[in-house]
Amino acid sequence: MSKKVDKQRDLTERLIRSGYRAAEELIKVAEAPIIKNSKNSVAGEDMIDFTDDLAAEKMKNAAAAKKLAIFDAFEILDKVKEKQESLDEIDGKKKEEKPKEVKKPTTIPKPEDRAS
C-alpha cells in the first residue's frame, strides 16, 4: 500500500511541475507580439492595412488565441495550487501523527496554600 501511495505522490508532484512548465509556455504565447515589424515599416512603425479582411481576421484570431492562453494558464495554476495544497495538507497530517511530547500535569495548589 505504501508503494502505491508513494507512486501516486510522485506522479502528482511531476504533474505539478509539468503544470508550471505548461503555464510558462502559455505565458510565452500571450507575451508574443501579434504584429511584427514588416519590411514596409517606416521609422520602426508597422504599416498594416486594416481594410484587408484577411488581415483583420488574422488579428482577431491571434487576439483570441492569446486570451485563451491567458485563461488556460490561470486555470492550470489554480489546479496546480489546489493539488499542492492537498499534498501539503497530507504532509501536515503526517507530522501531526507523530507522538506529541507529553506535558507534566500541573499541580493544583492545596486549599491551605491558596489562603495566603
Tell whether 28 is covered by a domain.
yes
Instruction: For residue 28, give its domain range.
Output: 2-89
Q: Tell me what pLDDT residue 52 has.
A: 73
Tell whether 96 is covered by a domain.
no
Tell whether 95 is covered by a domain.
no
Grid cell for residue 74: 490561470
Q: Tell me what pLDDT residue 54 has.
A: 76
Tell whether 114 is covered by a domain.
no
Tell whether 109 is covered by a domain.
no
Domain count for the chain, please give it.
1
Tell whether 110 is covered by a domain.
no
Q: Tell me what pLDDT residue 55 has.
A: 81
Tell whether 108 is covered by a domain.
no
Q: In order along the chain (116 residues), what is the average pLDDT of each group of 10 residues?
A: 83 95 96 73 54 80 94 97 91 68 63 61
Q: What is the pTM of this model?
A: 0.63
92: left (phi over 0), alpha (psi -120 to 50) or beta: alpha
- In 3D space, the residue among 34, 100, 111 whose CA is nearest the CA of residue 66 turns out to be 34
Q: Tell me what pLDDT residue 113 has.
A: 63
